[in-house]
Structure 1
Amino acid sequence: MVALTLKKKERISRRSLIEKLFTGGCSRSMSIFPLRAVYTFVDRDDEGVAVQILVSVSKRHFKRAVKRNRVKRQIRESFRLNKTILSDAMPGHEGKTLEIAFIWLADKLYSSEEIESRMVALLHRINEKS
């Protein structure tokens, strides 16, 4: 049973990991509008978590920080509630951490239910591909 929490160590915060995610040749990408996921498997560090995430909402889409923060909260919450979907992808990758960057693509706000349904579909696709 995986706890439905999103702790600090489950977030990507080191610059080296972020650069490896976006510049590394082994990362994959897929989109289900309005979300895009860039993901890769990395050797597990001392944190020992199976999945780490990063959430990005561009200032180009939302000028006001209030709206950007709302979208980031919605994405994190939908991931938190549905992260057990990825537990099936991990048995083949012992000793590895799945790093995922969620990037917002739309110029308008969506309801939390719509974001959650798209997140579920995206996580299922990541699970199938890995």
Structure 2
Amino acid sequence: MGKHEERFSKRERLCSKKLIDTLFGPGRSHAMTAFPLKVVYRLVDNVTETTASAGAVTETNVQVLISVPKKHFKRAVKRNRVKRQVREAYRKHKSYVTLRVKELTDKQLLIAFIWLSNELTDSVTVDQRVYNLLQRIGERI
């Protein structure tokens, strides 16, 4: 796998309010936990977006949302640290789900990582949990 494939670009981030409502709304969303993380995911029909500047159609097979509630960490510094750890772990191990979703035609995977713990965790543990969750998602889709 090349370095270009290991990037975590803006197109891979789940920012669309409509897609977030689709993920958390009623329907076929699935959830699983590997403490201190919970993941909610849903396989939907592919949505193509056109960029205004280039007019090109960009397809992203997997989009990710990372949430660390203010309830667990009052200080933004700690919330940002946890989000950075989860982003890095996802970036390293995303190939487990992206390759699986590419096999499915006209499907898109929406994933939300939600932090459950009130304590900070070292990066190795976060990395292992994200790896575990992504493997389990890859098996189930």
Measured against aligned partners, the alpha-carbon deviations of 1:12-41 in whole angstroms (never above 9, x if no partner) come to 101111011001311111110011110011
- Which consecutive unaligned segments of at least 5 residues does structure 1 have? none
- Matched residues, percent identical? 45
Tell me the distance in 1 between the aligned counterparts of 2:94 and 2:71: 28
Task: Tell me the residue number matched to 2:14.
Answer: 12
TM-score, normalisation: structure 2: 0.87
Q: 5 Å matches for 1:1-130?
A: 1=1, 3-46=5-48, 47-130=58-141
Secondary structure class of the residue paired with 2:113:
strand
Tell me the distance in 2 between the aligned counterparts of 1:21 and 1:49: 16
Aligned length: 130
- RMSD value over aligned CA atoms? 1.3
Measured against aligned partners, the alpha-carbon deviations of 1:76-106 in whole angstroms (never above 9, x if no partner) come to 0100010011134225521111110000000
Tell me the distance in 2 between the aligned counterparts of 1:88 and 1:50: 9
Task: Give 4+ residue runs of structure 1 displaced > 3 Å after superposition.
Answer: none
For the pair shown, the structure with the greater C-alpha radius of gyration is 2
TM-score, normalisation: structure 1: 0.94
- Which consecutive unaligned segments of at least 5 residues does structure 2 have? 49-57
